[in-house]
Amino acid sequence: MISKLLIANRGEIARRVARTCRAVGVSPVAVFSDPDADAPHVREADVAVRLPGAAPAETYLRIDALVAAAKAAGADAVHPGYGFLSENAEFARAVQRAGLTWVGPDPEVIEAMGSKVAAKKRMADAGVPVLPELDPETATEFPLLVKASAGGGGRGMRVVRTREELAEAVAAARREAESAFGDGTVFCEPLLENARHVEVQILADTHGTVWALGERECSIQRRHQKIIEETPSPAVRSEARQRLFDAATKAAHAIGYVGAGTVEFLFTDDQEFHFLEVNTRLQVEHPVTEEVFGLDLVAWQLAIAEGARLPAEPPTPHGHAIEARLYAEDPAHDWRPASGTLHRFRVPDGVRVDSGVEDGSVVGVHYDPMLAKVVAWGETRAAAVRKLANALDRAELHGLVTNRELLVRTLRHPAFAAGDTHTGFLAQHGLTKRPDVDVRPAALAAALALAENRRTALPLGWRNVPSQPQKVGFEFDGESVEISYRHTRDGVICSPEVEVVRAAKDFVVLAQDGVQVTYPVAVYGDRVEVGGLSLRVLPRFPEPTSRVAEGATVAPMPGTVVRVSVEAGQHVEAGTELLVLEAMKMEHRVLAATGGTVAEVLVQPGHQVDAGDVLAVVEGS
């Protein structure tokens, strides 16, 4: 029996596994890097062991350090979570050599499925339909997809549409895969555009029983990484569903699978499908399966590791569940990750929230920017989708740019409601572009709340020349907006159309045409959060500051320079790649804003940069 479990992971999944440990009477042990020293998953464990360093290669990817941590803490088992070393056969072997129980499939199975190339061949031999493999060096069939053989999560993946793009796409995929998984092997396969990503959750014991626990629709993706997942799929019909289950079960038996895992497929409109991979671990989106089947997959992982036998048949599913991943990132700016302090994190009751953060958490640059998973269940798909959209819309996420608004617009899109989803959904419907927003009501609410927060013994808005209005400037999404208002005996006057009903420190009520709207307001220094909008207060009298040279390209985020693509004296067009930054485990291209001549390049590969650092200067032609 397992009594003390080391969770070889961090953030949301570490907290989620620890929660089950508490429920079944197992003592959870956490590990943490230096940036994670104050993280919730550390405080909530019974014992926590430091992994000195910050980067994943120094900490969560060090097999020796993790095994040593387990032994030092007196753990008798290890749960890998997902990501990091969760699909690393050598880690599983090292755990077992140390005399500890490995909560997962046998190392040989992990190894067999760890190479997507080898896995596809094995599945083809077992009669599971697969896509043909293309050689990255000689491929002639386009469009195609370059994929990392050793990992997933969208890392090490590139879409290639022409032969000229192939070499650089392969090189970039190899770099990203090496950084994320320690293995730069990549391969290519035909790109099935607008196909669906459908996967089957499997659970298998050591006695030969395999459950197929429904299919999950995971087609809403960005950068080949899922952001909305649901079960059951709105597209899969009953006959195809049974074929999917049969294929997943056949795959599990073919490799002698034990534990929780996922068999992933590409699914087409004609109800056909092709094998993608077997994930030999728990998936990020496992909560939707738990909600529909009424079980705890982590509890079953622990029980199976102890030798428990599954019942002959799985539970009967009921209703519909859907999950959205909240990320600290800006979809409108090429999914640029955000780092900093998350001042407030609150999601309304009525939904499940699996998170790695809380009020005051610091989101750093070393790890994936996912903040939380929000999961809703309903009797019908429409009910579950509406519940999730409403919860996200009302969530208070202060201090960081997030993808919340994109998630809400996606969930409320007519095509999504109709179940017409595929892997190109966001691009097809232009959902990554930030819609036009009338920011003036929110800015007025911010100005009035700021005045209340600064109230002194003098009357609010008092000034020597009362006929002159108060003016407050704000910046929103790179644009400035100025608000004017006056205090009179009759109250606050801002415009003939808008009436100020009430102004307080943390909320403002405005009315227009008899309709009142309450704006919740939170102030953090020069940042004011109004509903879902974040405004920056502009100083009335800006202090003289050094100006960035005209034509300078600055770092949009902290990160590491992995490639410099231009040199001084080179002519570039607008949109030319200047260099590539790696941040939060993904590569981000930095492009020239205008055409001209590269006057100066100030960084080299390997350089660490902060947001705002000048990277290069392009002078106009």
Write out the catalytic residue numbers.
597
Looking up tokens 């009903």 gives: 501
Q: Across 268-360, where does the E strand assignment appear?
A: 273-279, 320-327, 329-330, 336-337, 340-342, 344-346, 352-355
Residues shown for the chain: 621
Looking up tokens 């298998």 gives: 204
Instruction: Answer for the pair 252, 189: CB distance below 8 angstroms, yes or no.
Output: no
Instruction: Report how far residue 593's alpha carbon sits from residue 337's, in angstroms, rounded to the nearest whole number.
Output: 20
Instruction: Answer for the pair 376, 321: CB distance below 8 angstroms, yes or no.
Output: yes
b/e code 138-151 from CB counts within 10 Å (16+ = b): ebeebebbbbbbbb
Instruction: Answer for the pair 500, 491: CB distance below 8 angstroms, yes or no.
Output: yes
The C-alpha angle with vertex 361 and arms to 359 and 362, in degrees rounded to 5, equals 145
Instruction: Report how far residue 468's alpha carbon sits from residue 140's, in angstroms, rounded to the nearest whole number.
Output: 71
- Cα atoms found within 13 Å of the Cα of residue 461, Cβ hemisphere only: 21
Task: Give the H/E segment covering residue 372.
Answer: strand 370-378
Instruction: Answer for the pair 323, 228: CB distance below 8 angstroms, yes or no.
Output: yes
The C-alpha angle with vertex 496 and arms to 490 and 497, in degrees rounded to 5, equals 120
**Using the 8-state DSSP alphabet, how is residue 332 labeled?**
G
Instruction: Report how far residue 85's alpha carbon sits from residue 80's, in angstroms, rounded to the nearest whole number.
Output: 7
Token code pair at residue 29: 């042990």
Secondary structure (DSSP) of 125-149:
HTT--BPPPB-TTT---SSEEEEES
Name residues whose C-beta falls within 8 Å of residue 193's C-beta, 6 or more positions apart in sequence. 143, 423, 424
Instruction: Report how far residue 37's alpha carbon sits from residue 51's, in angstroms, rounded to the nearest whole number.
Output: 10
The C-alpha angle with vertex 176 and arms to 175 and 179, in degrees rounded to 5, equals 85
Name residues whose C-beta falls within 8 Å of residue 591's C-beta, 6 or more positions apart in sequence. 574, 575, 576, 577, 578
Task: Give the H/E segment covering residue 411.
Answer: helix 404-411
Instruction: Answer for the pair 180, 155: CB distance below 8 angstroms, yes or no.
Output: yes
Q: Across 388-506, where does the E strand assignment appear?
A: 396-398, 470-476, 479-488, 491-493, 498-503
> What is residue 365's three-state secondary structure?
coil
